[in-house]
Amino acid sequence: MTHRLAAMRALVAADLQIFFRDRRSVILNLVTPLAIAGLFGMVFGGGGSAPAGRLAIAVVDQDGSAISRAVAAGLAAEKTLAVSSLDEPAARDLVLKGKVRAAVVLPPGFGEAAGRAFLRSTDRPRVAVLYDPSQAATLAMVQGLLTQHVFTAVTGELFSGDGGTRLIDESLASLDTQGTDAAVTADLRELLTRARSLNERNRSQGGAGTASGGGLSVPFEVGDEPVTSGSTPYNAYAHATAGMGVQFILMMGIEAGVGLLLLRRRGLWLRLKAAPLARGTLLTARVVSAALMSLVMLAVLYGGATLLLGVRVDGSLAGFLGIAVAFALTTAAFGLLIAALGGTPEATRGLAIFATLVMVLLGGGWVPSFLFPAWLQQASLALPTSWAIGGFEAMTWRGLGLAEALPTIGALLAFTTVFLVIAVWRFRWDVASR
Amino acid sequence: MLEVRHLSKSFGDRVAVADVSFVAETGRTLGLLGPNGAGKSTIVNIIAGVLRPDRGEARVHGAAVDSDTSPAKRLVGFVPQDLALYEELSALDNLRLFGSLYGLAGAELDARAASALGVARLSDRARDRVETFSGGMKRRLNIAAALLHEPRVLLLDEPTVGVDPQSRNAIFDTLAELRSGGMTLIYTTHYMEEAERLCDRIVIIDHGRVLADDTLDGLYARLPAHARPVQQVVTVRPTLESVFLELTGHRLRDD
Ligand SMILES: Nc1ncnc2c1ncn2[C@@H]1O[C@H](COP(=O)(O)OP(=O)(O)OP(=O)(O)O)[C@@H](O)[C@H]1O
Ligand SMILES: [Mg+2]
């Protein structure tokens, strides 16, 4: 047994010696992930101190009434929006081109109709929200804000605007013609008359007559607080580092697998097989050396990200290391699996590019996986990349403890085992040197 | 002693080796002769334990080579036809690695590696990377790498491909020394003059079958009388090799 361990150590040492011999390739291998993580992190909002980007929308006011102007002003005052005022063709064009996410079109007669519809069940005016279908999530947000501002503007006009008294008078007049219950009619008349006198008092006192003042408002405010580990704000670099680390380690594992196939074509393979060693020893040595290289890459990547990008392991360091080791083993086993299934180095490379892209994309390596449809988020749990990225995030900016890391470590080791079993089973051992 | 019994091996539909048997006596050199594709490498690979036969077996000093970890594998040294070296590592690191695959370690490993380097006449290049070596130097190291664990049987699969006469002669000297030390050699080649020079016994193979298994004299005796060599009075011309060696010297060209 010590013989086997010594043999394995010698094989691993040879692999590492060969890997680290080519300085330029080592540096490229180690620096590239960090550079790309920096780039991705920057794109996705950087270190958290920068304000989130405002959502560009357009408002088309075809009405020009006090109410429509108040709605436009209310939207413009939202700190999450960057509002431009345009005519409809221009707005439509910008939405199409993706320059604004959505355009709100307030049609002619909107204020009048909205005020009337508030008091009576007349036809409600139709506000068109033109939106970019690739940004569907913004639609709900814009609709929400729009509802709030229309509500405020309409009630403001009714209780304190010039047009309010006229609308109330209209409603009072129409009460008699509606054949509703006499008691209800009396109550409504009472309510409208009170509203009218409130309007008059408001106007004579403040003289403001603006639709935004004096109206009803949404009866709560949202106090939003990003939930992170507390000591550091959310760091987009932490996500990008996890994603790129996973991607490049995956690629490294695959290179190790391809290397094994290339080795199988050489006489060297015969010499290794001629030694009195179990094939498991040879394959395990390859897995261990690939995993060690991955760990070195992870160490350099996270070291660099700590120094340069402000990424910090706020959670359990042991959990972080555990996930790192487990994922390094997973990728090495994955490389072996791909090699076993691919058969030839050429086929394996093709298969590997596909597998890597899919695993990294669906694992949430490029864009956070919460943007995925729910079924896809569920399905991505079948990918080790998803576990690893989630795990690295949990141990960095989420600042979670070792207990949160254990399921991830367990899942990754399970993946490793499955990959290894299939790889050893499917690996074509007896391909002669030619 | 090496016994090969009824070996057969096919790759898909292609029969590479068909019912091959022969015996190599201890301390002798057995030549495996055959044209390209005859099945020589396949036979040698099976004896080395890197390929499983479909049928038959190889026994080294009575022990079968029948699994990855067979103890019999320790008795066999294998020089693959293709260079089997880590180009990126030094000669010494290569030898250390291969020695440790056979359980050698520490001072013993160092001593064996040094002695193998001496055998390969590469002691002064020990720390240079193999990729900087000439073809002949690599071939010599390829042989040395099979000697670390002091095998009883040495399998040489075309060990002189692409080497100059100087290196080839150095290799032949090495093999002569090994044989006189009691090692059994299996020498695969399609160079007749190498077989004539080195081998005590020759197995001629084609299409995976044994066509002849005999001593050199026995093989000559098989020829029809009219084709046998006869004593003739001829002017003995020097060989081209002797001229070549006269001009370029017998010294190894390792610089
Ligand atoms: N891995 C393999 N897959 C398929 N066919 C193979 C394989 N290895 C050898 N063969 C076939 O088996 C036959 C014997 O090959 P082998 O390499 O043993 O011949 P050889 O006598 O060593 O030839 P050479 O002098 O060219 O080295 C050939 O027909 C060869 O094509
Ligand atoms: Mg051959």
pLDDT tens digits along A79-121: 778 888 989 999 998 888 888 888 999 999 998 888 888 877 7
Same domain, A87 and A43: no
Determine contact: A273 vs chain B, CB below 8 A: yes
* CB contact (8 A) between residue A14 and residue B89: yes
Q: pLDDT tens across A116-147, in order?
A: 888 777 778 888 888 887 777 778 888 888 88
Q: Is A431 domain-assigned?
A: no
**Opening angle at CA A395, ends A392 and A400, nearest 5:** 140
What whole-number distance in Å separates Cα of residue A94 and Cα of residue A99? 5
Same domain, A191 and A248: no
Phi and psi torsions of A82, nearest 5° = -115, 105
Distance B146 CA to ligand 1 centre (A): 22
Q: Is A227 domain-assigned?
A: no
Same domain, A421 and A302: yes
Concatenating the DSSP letter of every residue in A216-282 gives ---S--------S-SSS---HHHHHHHHHHHHHHHHHHHHHHHHHHHHHHSHHHHHHHHSS--HHHH
What whole-number distance in Å separates Cα of residue B10 and Cα of residue B53? 8
B13 Cβ contact list (under 8 Å, min separation 6): none
Q: Is B254 domain-assigned?
A: no
Same domain, A61 and A39: no
Partners of A130 in beta bridges = A103
Residue type, A37: A
Same domain, A77 and A43: no
Same domain, A324 and A384: yes
Q: Is B253 domain-assigned?
A: no
Atom of ligand 1 nearest to the CA of A431: 1
Look at residue A184 in the predicted model and tell me its pLDDT. 82
A185 CB neighbour count, 10 Å cutoff? 14
Q: Is A117 domain-assigned?
A: yes
Same domain, A37 and A59: no
Q: Is A161 domain-assigned?
A: yes
B28 CB neighbour count, 10 Å cutoff? 18
Dihedral (Cα; A411, A415, A418, A419), 10-degree rounding: -170
Cβ–Cβ < 8 Å for A246, A392:
yes
What is the CA A325 to chain-centroid distance, rounded? 26
**Range(s) of the domain holding residue A38:** 2-47+237-426
Q: Is B118 domain-assigned?
A: yes
Same domain, A248 and A373: yes
Q: Is A15 domain-assigned?
A: yes
Residue A218 has pLDDT above 70, yes or no: no
Residue B24, SS3? strand
Q: Which of B10, B11, B50 has the highest number of chain A CBs within 10 A, making it the mutation to test binding with A?
A: B50
CATH number, position B209: 3.40.50.300
pTM more than 0.90: no
Residue A48 has pLDDT above 60, yes or no: no
Same domain, A122 and A43: no
State which of A186, A207, A228 marks the end of a domain.
Answer: A207
Spatial strand order in the sheet of B14-24: B14-24, B2-11, B55-60, B63-64
Q: Is A169 domain-assigned?
A: yes
Look at residue A260 in the predicted model and tell me its pLDDT. 86
Same domain, A63 and A42: no
Number of domains, chain B: 1
Number of domains, chain A: 2
Same domain, A241 and A199: no
Q: Is B135 domain-assigned?
A: yes
Residue A209 has pLDDT above 50, yes or no: no
Q: Is B255 domain-assigned?
A: no
Determine contact: A53 vs chain B, CB below 8 A: no
Phi and psi torsions of A216, nearest 5° = -80, 155
Same domain, A119 and A252: no
* CB contact (8 A) between residue B102 and residue A276: yes
Q: pLDDT tens across A296-307, in order?
A: 999 999 999 889
**Range(s) of the domain holding residue B69:** 2-248
Report residue A231's pLDDT band, with 50, 70 and 90 as the boundaries: low
